[in-house]
Amino acid sequence: MSNSVDFKNVSTIGLESSPVAEALAGLRANEARYFMNKYKHEFTVVPASESQETLAYVNRILQEERDIEFSAKPLETSRFQVENIQFAYVFYEDGLAVNVMYTVDDPKKRAVGFKLSEGMEVPKELETKFKFARQKSKLAGTIRGSFFVIKGQY
């Protein structure tokens, strides 16, 4: 069952098991606000247990591109297309959000992004491979983020 993410009244529904649930909910709301403001798209999430196809898609890209496999439990996913860009999100219990941005018609604009909720440690799977930049968010506090460009076809 999908759930629309409200960025005005931030809720931890679906994320309660996370030790940084409030920050992760803020991060999720921050993404929802971005898509509403930029594309007028309502950001919805689905429990990870109901979205094995999205999980498999993101996991395949992480594995094939950078040999990354997260030990954290996935809680929710989102998958949609706006304009010519396909997006897939996975929100993990430890506070990590992974997103895949895949342009349909331009192989130069495809990437995987990582965002860390405030209060979480850098996952061991990423700590030696990526440097993280900081950004401030009214909804999520300080977000640390990084990304890599996708080279393959998915």
In a domain, 14, yes or no: yes
Taking the CA atoms of residue 55, residue 58, residue 60 and residue 61 in that order, the dihedral angle to the nearest 10 degrees is 180
- Per-residue pLDDT 10s for the chain (154 aa) are 889 999 999 999 999 999 999 999 999 999 999 999 999 999 999 999 999 999 999 999 999 999 999 999 999 999 999 999 999 999 999 999 999 999 999 988 999 999 999 999 999 999 999 999 999 999 999 999 999 999 999 9
In a domain, 135, yes or no: yes
The domain total for the chain is 1
CB count in 10 Å sphere of residue 129: 13
DSSP string, 1-32: --EEPPSSS---TT-TTSTTHHHHHHHHHHHH
Q: Which domain holds residue 68?
A: 3-149
pTM: 0.96
In a domain, 154, yes or no: no
